[in-house]
Structure 1
Amino acid sequence: MAKKTDKTNVMRILDQMKIHYEYNVFDNERQDVFEVSQSLGRNPACVFKTLVTSNRSKEYYVFMVPIEKELDLKKAAKVAGEKALEMIPQKELLPLTGYVHGGCSPIGMKKPFKTYIDQTAADAERIYFSGGRVGYQLGLPLGDLQKVIDVFPADITKDS
Protein backbone atom coordinates (compact mmCIF):
# COMPACT_ATOMS: atom_id res chain seq x y z
CA MET A 1 0.00 0.00 0.00
CA ALA A 2 1.27 3.42 -0.93
CA LYS A 3 2.05 5.88 1.82
CA LYS A 4 0.27 9.21 1.90
CA THR A 5 3.67 10.88 1.41
CA ASP A 6 4.54 9.11 -1.87
CA LYS A 7 4.39 11.69 -4.68
CA THR A 8 3.19 10.81 -8.16
CA ASN A 9 4.40 12.50 -11.32
CA VAL A 10 1.08 14.36 -11.44
CA MET A 11 1.66 15.73 -7.93
CA ARG A 12 5.19 16.81 -8.84
CA ILE A 13 3.87 18.66 -11.90
CA LEU A 14 1.28 20.48 -9.78
CA ASP A 15 3.92 21.28 -7.13
CA GLN A 16 6.26 22.73 -9.79
CA MET A 17 3.41 24.94 -11.03
CA LYS A 18 2.60 25.94 -7.43
CA ILE A 19 -0.97 24.71 -7.79
CA HIS A 20 -2.57 23.67 -4.51
CA TYR A 21 -4.43 20.35 -4.59
CA GLU A 22 -6.10 17.98 -2.19
CA TYR A 23 -5.25 14.31 -2.35
CA ASN A 24 -6.25 11.01 -0.86
CA VAL A 25 -4.71 7.58 -1.06
CA PHE A 26 -7.04 4.61 -0.81
CA ASP A 27 -6.90 0.84 -1.07
CA ASN A 28 -8.49 0.16 -4.43
CA GLU A 29 -8.55 -3.59 -3.80
CA ARG A 30 -11.16 -3.04 -1.10
CA GLN A 31 -13.00 -0.02 -2.50
CA ASP A 32 -13.92 1.25 -5.94
CA VAL A 33 -13.85 4.96 -6.76
CA PHE A 34 -17.60 5.31 -6.14
CA GLU A 35 -17.23 3.83 -2.62
CA VAL A 36 -14.22 6.05 -1.96
CA SER A 37 -16.13 9.19 -2.99
CA GLN A 38 -18.97 8.22 -0.63
CA SER A 39 -16.62 7.45 2.26
CA LEU A 40 -14.93 10.86 1.81
CA GLY A 41 -18.30 12.61 1.65
CA ARG A 42 -17.83 13.68 -1.98
CA ASN A 43 -20.59 14.05 -4.49
CA PRO A 44 -19.93 11.38 -7.18
CA ALA A 45 -20.90 14.01 -9.78
CA CYS A 46 -17.62 15.80 -8.90
CA VAL A 47 -15.41 12.69 -9.21
CA PHE A 48 -14.20 12.12 -12.76
CA LYS A 49 -12.75 9.17 -14.65
CA THR A 50 -10.29 9.74 -17.48
CA LEU A 51 -11.06 7.91 -20.73
CA VAL A 52 -8.96 7.72 -23.89
CA THR A 53 -10.48 7.33 -27.35
CA SER A 54 -9.23 7.26 -30.93
CA ASN A 55 -10.53 7.76 -34.43
CA ARG A 56 -9.82 5.44 -37.36
CA SER A 57 -6.62 7.36 -38.15
CA LYS A 58 -5.31 6.69 -34.61
CA GLU A 59 -5.62 10.28 -33.46
CA TYR A 60 -6.34 10.30 -29.74
CA TYR A 61 -8.72 12.27 -27.55
CA VAL A 62 -9.13 12.30 -23.77
CA PHE A 63 -12.49 12.67 -22.05
CA MET A 64 -13.20 13.20 -18.37
CA VAL A 65 -16.67 12.15 -17.21
CA PRO A 66 -18.26 11.83 -13.77
CA ILE A 67 -17.84 8.30 -12.36
CA GLU A 68 -21.61 7.84 -12.24
CA LYS A 69 -22.04 8.70 -15.94
CA GLU A 70 -21.10 7.13 -19.23
CA LEU A 71 -19.27 8.75 -22.15
CA ASP A 72 -21.54 9.25 -25.16
CA LEU A 73 -19.22 8.40 -28.06
CA LYS A 74 -21.46 10.18 -30.59
CA LYS A 75 -21.44 13.41 -28.58
CA ALA A 76 -17.70 13.00 -27.98
CA ALA A 77 -17.01 12.58 -31.71
CA LYS A 78 -19.09 15.65 -32.54
CA VAL A 79 -17.24 17.78 -29.96
CA ALA A 80 -13.89 16.55 -31.27
CA GLY A 81 -14.91 17.21 -34.89
CA GLU A 82 -14.67 13.52 -35.81
CA LYS A 83 -17.11 11.20 -37.58
CA ALA A 84 -16.64 8.48 -34.97
CA LEU A 85 -14.55 7.64 -31.92
CA GLU A 86 -14.00 4.43 -30.02
CA MET A 87 -12.44 3.56 -26.69
CA ILE A 88 -8.85 2.40 -27.05
CA PRO A 89 -8.10 -1.19 -26.02
CA GLN A 90 -6.90 -1.39 -22.42
CA LYS A 91 -3.55 -2.89 -23.51
CA GLU A 92 -2.78 0.33 -25.46
CA LEU A 93 -3.29 2.63 -22.48
CA LEU A 94 0.10 2.23 -20.78
CA PRO A 95 2.28 2.57 -23.91
CA LEU A 96 0.24 5.55 -25.12
CA THR A 97 -0.25 7.53 -21.91
CA GLY A 98 2.23 6.11 -19.39
CA TYR A 99 -0.68 5.19 -17.11
CA VAL A 100 -2.38 1.92 -16.23
CA HIS A 101 -6.13 1.34 -16.17
CA GLY A 102 -7.54 2.80 -12.95
CA GLY A 103 -4.63 5.21 -12.57
CA CYS A 104 -4.96 7.28 -15.74
CA SER A 105 -4.72 11.02 -15.11
CA PRO A 106 -5.26 13.78 -17.66
CA ILE A 107 -2.08 15.43 -16.31
CA GLY A 108 1.37 14.12 -17.24
CA MET A 109 0.54 11.84 -20.17
CA LYS A 110 3.45 10.95 -22.44
CA LYS A 111 2.03 13.36 -25.04
CA PRO A 112 -0.61 16.06 -24.71
CA PHE A 113 -3.95 15.08 -26.24
CA LYS A 114 -7.00 17.20 -26.89
CA THR A 115 -8.96 16.87 -23.63
CA TYR A 116 -12.62 17.48 -22.87
CA ILE A 117 -14.42 17.39 -19.53
CA ASP A 118 -18.12 17.01 -18.96
CA GLN A 119 -19.70 20.46 -18.78
CA THR A 120 -20.99 19.75 -15.25
CA ALA A 121 -17.41 20.25 -14.00
CA ALA A 122 -17.88 23.99 -14.50
CA ASP A 123 -20.53 23.97 -11.75
CA ALA A 124 -18.33 22.18 -9.19
CA GLU A 125 -16.24 24.07 -6.66
CA ARG A 126 -13.63 21.29 -6.91
CA ILE A 127 -13.28 18.26 -9.16
CA TYR A 128 -11.54 14.98 -8.29
CA PHE A 129 -9.66 12.66 -10.62
CA SER A 130 -6.87 10.10 -10.69
CA GLY A 131 -3.54 11.24 -9.30
CA GLY A 132 -1.62 9.14 -11.82
CA ARG A 133 -1.40 5.93 -9.80
CA VAL A 134 -4.07 3.41 -8.84
CA GLY A 135 -5.42 4.42 -5.43
CA TYR A 136 -4.49 8.11 -5.69
CA GLN A 137 -7.17 10.76 -6.12
CA LEU A 138 -6.56 14.50 -6.47
CA GLY A 139 -8.95 17.41 -6.12
CA LEU A 140 -8.71 20.96 -7.39
CA PRO A 141 -10.86 23.62 -9.05
CA LEU A 142 -11.45 23.21 -12.80
CA GLY A 143 -9.71 26.57 -13.37
CA ASP A 144 -6.53 25.21 -11.81
CA LEU A 145 -6.66 22.07 -13.98
CA GLN A 146 -6.99 24.38 -17.00
CA LYS A 147 -3.73 26.08 -15.96
CA VAL A 148 -1.94 22.73 -16.33
CA ILE A 149 -3.60 21.24 -19.43
CA ASP A 150 -5.93 22.49 -22.13
CA VAL A 151 -9.26 20.98 -21.09
CA PHE A 152 -12.55 22.09 -22.56
CA PRO A 153 -15.98 21.67 -20.92
CA ALA A 154 -18.54 20.05 -23.25
CA ASP A 155 -21.74 17.99 -23.28
CA ILE A 156 -20.21 14.49 -23.60
CA THR A 157 -22.19 12.15 -21.34
CA LYS A 158 -25.19 9.96 -22.11
CA ASP A 159 -28.50 11.41 -21.07
CA SER A 160 -29.95 9.72 -18.00
Structure 2
Amino acid sequence: MSASKTNAVRLLEKAGIAFELRTYEVDPDDLSAESVARKVGMPPEQVFKTLVARGDRHGVCLAVVPGNCELDPKALSKATGDKKVDTVSLKEVEPLTGYIRGGVTAIGCKKDYPVYLDETAELFDVIVLSAGMRGLQLVIAPADYIRVAGAKIAPIARVKA
Protein backbone atom coordinates (compact mmCIF):
# COMPACT_ATOMS: atom_id res chain seq x y z
CA MET A 1 0.00 0.00 0.00
CA SER A 2 1.50 3.30 -1.10
CA ALA A 3 0.29 5.26 1.90
CA SER A 4 2.10 8.51 1.25
CA LYS A 5 0.56 8.86 -2.20
CA THR A 6 -2.95 9.99 -1.25
CA ASN A 7 -3.86 13.61 -1.96
CA ALA A 8 -4.68 14.12 1.71
CA VAL A 9 -1.25 12.95 2.87
CA ARG A 10 0.55 15.09 0.29
CA LEU A 11 -1.43 18.18 1.31
CA LEU A 12 -0.77 17.62 5.02
CA GLU A 13 2.95 17.14 4.40
CA LYS A 14 3.07 20.28 2.24
CA ALA A 15 1.32 22.26 4.98
CA GLY A 16 3.73 20.92 7.62
CA ILE A 17 0.90 19.47 9.70
CA ALA A 18 1.70 16.67 12.14
CA PHE A 19 -0.30 13.48 11.64
CA GLU A 20 -0.03 9.73 11.98
CA LEU A 21 -1.20 7.07 9.55
CA ARG A 22 -2.82 3.80 10.60
CA THR A 23 -3.52 0.99 8.20
CA TYR A 24 -6.18 -1.67 8.61
CA GLU A 25 -7.49 -4.70 6.76
CA VAL A 26 -10.42 -3.70 4.55
CA ASP A 27 -13.59 -5.77 4.62
CA PRO A 28 -15.67 -4.62 1.62
CA ASP A 29 -18.77 -6.06 3.32
CA ASP A 30 -18.26 -3.92 6.44
CA LEU A 31 -16.97 -0.41 5.83
CA SER A 32 -18.63 0.95 8.98
CA ALA A 33 -16.80 3.46 11.15
CA GLU A 34 -17.30 1.16 14.15
CA SER A 35 -15.46 -1.63 12.33
CA VAL A 36 -12.64 0.72 11.31
CA ALA A 37 -12.41 2.01 14.91
CA ARG A 38 -11.89 -1.53 16.23
CA LYS A 39 -9.23 -2.22 13.59
CA VAL A 40 -7.23 0.95 14.34
CA GLY A 41 -7.65 0.62 18.11
CA MET A 42 -9.64 3.80 18.72
CA PRO A 43 -13.07 4.41 20.28
CA PRO A 44 -15.84 4.87 17.65
CA GLU A 45 -16.70 8.34 18.95
CA GLN A 46 -13.15 9.43 18.01
CA VAL A 47 -13.24 7.91 14.50
CA PHE A 48 -15.05 10.28 12.15
CA LYS A 49 -16.73 9.45 8.85
CA THR A 50 -17.09 11.90 6.00
CA LEU A 51 -20.49 11.96 4.32
CA VAL A 52 -21.39 13.76 1.11
CA ALA A 53 -24.62 15.76 1.30
CA ARG A 54 -26.52 18.17 -0.92
CA GLY A 55 -28.63 21.09 0.21
CA ASP A 56 -31.51 22.60 -1.75
CA ARG A 57 -29.97 26.09 -1.71
CA HIS A 58 -26.20 25.77 -1.35
CA GLY A 59 -25.48 22.46 -3.06
CA VAL A 60 -22.88 19.86 -2.10
CA CYS A 61 -21.12 19.85 1.27
CA LEU A 62 -19.23 17.36 3.40
CA ALA A 63 -20.49 16.36 6.85
CA VAL A 64 -17.97 14.79 9.22
CA VAL A 65 -19.56 12.91 12.11
CA PRO A 66 -18.40 10.47 14.81
CA GLY A 67 -18.48 6.77 13.97
CA ASN A 68 -20.97 5.99 16.74
CA CYS A 69 -23.43 8.59 15.44
CA GLU A 70 -25.40 9.41 12.33
CA LEU A 71 -25.88 12.65 10.49
CA ASP A 72 -28.77 14.80 11.66
CA PRO A 73 -30.02 16.31 8.36
CA LYS A 74 -32.06 19.02 10.13
CA ALA A 75 -29.03 20.12 12.13
CA LEU A 76 -26.87 20.16 8.98
CA SER A 77 -29.56 22.21 7.19
CA LYS A 78 -29.41 24.75 9.99
CA ALA A 79 -25.60 24.90 9.74
CA THR A 80 -25.58 25.26 5.94
CA GLY A 81 -28.51 27.65 5.62
CA ASP A 82 -30.43 25.18 3.46
CA LYS A 83 -34.10 24.32 3.95
CA LYS A 84 -33.39 20.66 3.32
CA VAL A 85 -30.23 18.54 3.14
CA ASP A 86 -29.90 14.88 2.16
CA THR A 87 -26.92 12.62 1.67
CA VAL A 88 -26.14 11.96 -1.98
CA SER A 89 -26.53 8.51 -3.54
CA LEU A 90 -23.51 6.19 -3.37
CA LYS A 91 -23.09 6.38 -7.15
CA GLU A 92 -22.53 10.15 -6.85
CA VAL A 93 -19.85 9.98 -4.15
CA GLU A 94 -16.82 9.22 -6.33
CA PRO A 95 -17.69 11.61 -9.21
CA LEU A 96 -18.21 14.44 -6.70
CA THR A 97 -15.21 13.81 -4.43
CA GLY A 98 -12.73 11.69 -6.35
CA TYR A 99 -12.86 9.19 -3.47
CA ILE A 100 -14.65 5.85 -3.14
CA ARG A 101 -17.01 4.97 -0.29
CA GLY A 102 -14.94 4.12 2.76
CA GLY A 103 -12.13 6.41 1.59
CA VAL A 104 -13.79 9.83 1.46
CA THR A 105 -11.94 12.69 3.13
CA ALA A 106 -12.39 16.46 2.98
CA ILE A 107 -8.63 16.91 2.55
CA GLY A 108 -7.64 16.85 -1.10
CA CYS A 109 -11.18 16.40 -2.35
CA LYS A 110 -11.83 16.86 -6.08
CA LYS A 111 -13.46 20.21 -5.31
CA ASP A 112 -13.39 22.49 -2.26
CA TYR A 113 -16.80 21.82 -0.79
CA PRO A 114 -17.92 23.41 2.48
CA VAL A 115 -17.01 21.07 5.35
CA TYR A 116 -19.02 20.75 8.56
CA LEU A 117 -17.40 18.90 11.46
CA ASP A 118 -19.47 17.73 14.40
CA GLU A 119 -18.70 19.74 17.52
CA THR A 120 -17.72 16.62 19.50
CA ALA A 121 -14.42 16.51 17.57
CA GLU A 122 -13.11 19.27 19.81
CA LEU A 123 -13.45 17.01 22.87
CA PHE A 124 -10.42 14.96 21.77
CA ASP A 125 -6.67 15.53 21.49
CA VAL A 126 -6.76 13.65 18.18
CA ILE A 127 -9.45 12.43 15.81
CA VAL A 128 -9.25 9.69 13.20
CA LEU A 129 -10.50 10.09 9.63
CA SER A 130 -9.97 8.49 6.25
CA ALA A 131 -6.67 9.45 4.62
CA GLY A 132 -8.24 9.19 1.17
CA MET A 133 -8.35 5.46 0.58
CA ARG A 134 -9.84 2.39 2.16
CA GLY A 135 -7.47 0.79 4.63
CA LEU A 136 -5.70 4.00 5.59
CA GLN A 137 -6.70 6.30 8.45
CA LEU A 138 -5.32 9.64 9.48
CA VAL A 139 -4.77 10.53 13.15
CA ILE A 140 -4.73 14.33 13.50
CA ALA A 141 -5.41 17.07 16.03
CA PRO A 142 -8.92 18.50 15.51
CA ALA A 143 -7.60 22.07 15.21
CA ASP A 144 -5.21 21.01 12.43
CA TYR A 145 -7.98 19.18 10.60
CA ILE A 146 -10.29 22.20 10.92
CA ARG A 147 -7.57 24.45 9.51
CA VAL A 148 -6.54 22.24 6.58
CA ALA A 149 -10.11 21.21 5.65
CA GLY A 150 -11.56 24.69 6.23
CA ALA A 151 -14.16 23.01 8.42
CA LYS A 152 -16.90 24.77 10.34
CA ILE A 153 -17.86 23.33 13.73
CA ALA A 154 -21.55 22.55 14.20
CA PRO A 155 -23.76 20.14 16.19
CA ILE A 156 -24.64 17.94 13.17
CA ALA A 157 -24.63 14.40 14.61
CA ARG A 158 -27.10 12.41 16.66
CA VAL A 159 -26.79 9.08 18.42
CA LYS A 160 -27.85 6.21 16.14
CA ALA A 161 -31.44 5.17 16.66
The answer to whether TM tops 0.5 is: yes
Q: CA deviation at 1:6?
A: 4.6
* TM-score of the pair, normalised by structure 2: 0.90
**Which residue does 1:93 correspond to in 2?**
93
Q: CA deviation at 1:57?
A: 5.3
2 CA distance for matches of 1:149 and 1:76? 17
1:104 equivalent in alignment to 2:104 = yes
Which residue identity does 1:7 align to in structure 2? K
Q: Is the 8 A contact 2:61 2:115 kept in 1?
A: yes
> SS of 2:122's equivalent?
helix
1 CA distance for matches of 2:54 and 2:103? 19
Q: CA deviation at 1:43?
A: 1.6
Q: CA deviation at 1:56?
A: 3.1
* Structure 2, unaligned runs of 5 or more: none
* Structure 1, unaligned runs of 5 or more: none
1:34-77 CA distances to partner (integer Å, 9 max, x unpaired)?
A: 23423443121110000011123571111000011000101110
1:52 equivalent in alignment to 2:52 = yes
2 CA distance for matches of 1:19 and 1:113? 21
Deviates more, 1:6-15 or 1:47-56: 6-15
**Which residue does 1:64 correspond to in 2?**
64
Distance 1:91 1:78, change over 3 A: same
Structure number having the greater strand percentage: 2
**Which residue does 1:9 correspond to in 2?**
7
Name segments (4+ residues, structure 1) moved above 6 Å: none
**Which residue does 2:76 correspond to in 1?**
76
Q: CA deviation at 1:148?
A: 1.1
> SS of 2:102's equivalent?
coil
> SS of 1:93's equivalent?
helix
Identity percentage over the alignment?
33
> SS of 1:65's equivalent?
strand
Q: What's the RMSD between the two structures over aligned residues?
A: 1.8
1 CA distance for matches of 2:45 and 2:8? 22
Give 1:12-27 correspondences, 5 Å limit: 12-27=10-25
**Which residue does 1:132 correspond to in 2?**
132
2 CA distance for matches of 1:134 and 1:101? 8
2 CA distance for matches of 1:38 and 1:89? 27
> SS of 1:158's equivalent?
strand
Which residue identity does 2:158 align to in structure 1? K
Give the aligned length: 158
Q: Is the 8 A contact 2:76 2:156 kept in 1?
A: yes
